[in-house]
Homo-oligomer: A and B are copies of this chain.
Amino acid sequence: MERKKEREQTTFALKGDLCFSEDKDRLQIWEDAYVVCEDGICRGVFSELPKRYQNIPCHEYPGRIIIPGLVDLHTHASQYAFCGLGMDLELLDWLNTHTFPEEAKYADLDYAKDAYRIFVDDLKKGATTRAVIFGTVHVEATLLLMELMEESGICAYVGKVNMDRNCPRDLCEESAARSVEDTRRWLNLCAERDFRNVRPILTPRFIPSCSDGLMEGLAKLQQEYGLPLQSHLSENTGEIQLVRELCPNARFYGEAYEQSGLFGENAPTIMAHCVFSSDAEIELMKQRGVFVAHCPQSNAALASGIAPVRRYMDLGLHVGLGTDVAAGFSLSMFRAIADAILCSKLRWSVEDRLLAPLRLEEAFYLATKGGGTFFGKIGSFENGYEFDAVVLDDCSLSCPRSLTVRERLERLIYRADDRNIEAKYVGGRKIA
């Protein structure tokens, strides 16, 4: 009975101006058309509603643009409290000065509750329908974050962070064994919670924070639980030098993950940043199917540099976009799309004329299907995709002349904020 009701609620059509990516070069635009959701799964787009769907509810959004939900492939819920603050340092100093002291506060569940509530509320206001999120080392606070995310209706992978070295005493896990043990406890508590929207993801912070013993323990956990993994890679020159010193046997940063079996060999893996990945590192990412989470705003704000995203796309790597708060200062995935384009233009003009700037179609693809693929069939309105959609109202963006749907989408990407979001669906459920 429950199931029947659920099926009814998640079977409907939306009508409006539809935009979605077929692939990175092809943006499909269907004006005043229907997209059908059946039992939470997209059944494609139609100019006229086919006979077999004529009895399902149709929600009309005349003059609105409807896009697949946006996928934030890398962000830190535990840093949102200082979003837009302390933006004056490079990565390692920034971690020590601003980030680690903030994350230590999440030992206090009351603080965590206040802070995560703000993060989840703001994430819900935006166009993000799926996110891959760092918590902190704390089991209880991370569970709390997962519960809040679960309620929000946004689908997410959330990670309890592992770190047993090179960080302040009040944040550092006592030992590799204790870190692994806490992670196991967290995973078992997650299993008890029976989450619907939220899943755990292994989250060794990055090589400088994780001893070899910890990485080995996490590799075992990964095999046991079959968990995906997120971490950071080749973000900053100082960080890369530190990894070189810590792991003299690794020829490149990514190999330090690979040596523990945590570079995508056994499970889907996201590496955030990849600003300075070497040819060998890129080749291994490709072999292992590693997802690159490109975070252009964060990479600018920490003066890291600009990742060669065009190269990754040309080589066929998996690439998505991340807001990476609080090195990034905005949860807006629209800004992530615009920033990816702008930074690629600056990279072209200032650093390397061989890599052409990203086009709108490509950056939009990254924020939808590109990152969405990490979740499965996510990020498109093609038949068989899970039904995530965002309805956009661009009436506030006045214009003295009429615009094409492609133009209206472009303008929204550069200029939209949460006021332009009229409705949001995840897996066929309306969450806003």
List residues of chain A with CB under 8 Å of any chain B CB: 81, 83-88, 105, 111, 114-115, 118, 121-122, 297, 300-306, 329-330, 338, 341-343, 345-351, 357, 359-360, 397-401, 403, 407, 410-415, 417
Contacts and interface: CB of A to CB of B under 8 A. Distances in A.
A336 B341 CA distance: 17
Nearest to A115: B400
User: In the complex this chain forms, how many copies of it are found?
Assistant: 2
Nearest to A404: B85
A297 B338 CA distance: 11
Instruction: Provide the main secondary structure of the chain A interface.
Output: helix
Contacts of A347: 350
Contact of A114 (B81, B329, B400): B400
6 cross-chain pairs, A with B, having the tightest CB-CB distances, nearest first: A84-B414, A303-B345, A84-B411, A114-B400, A115-B400, A329-B414
A303 B83 contact: no
Which of A88, A115, A338, A400 has the most chain B CB within a 10 Å cutoff?
A400
A300 B400 contact: no
A400 B349 contact: no
A85 B407 contact: yes
Contacts of A85: 403, 407, 410-411
B87 A341 contact: yes
A410 B351 contact: no
Nearest to A332: B415
Nearest to A413: B84
A356 B118 CA distance: 34
Contact of A83 (B81, B88, B411): B411
B81 A400 contact: yes
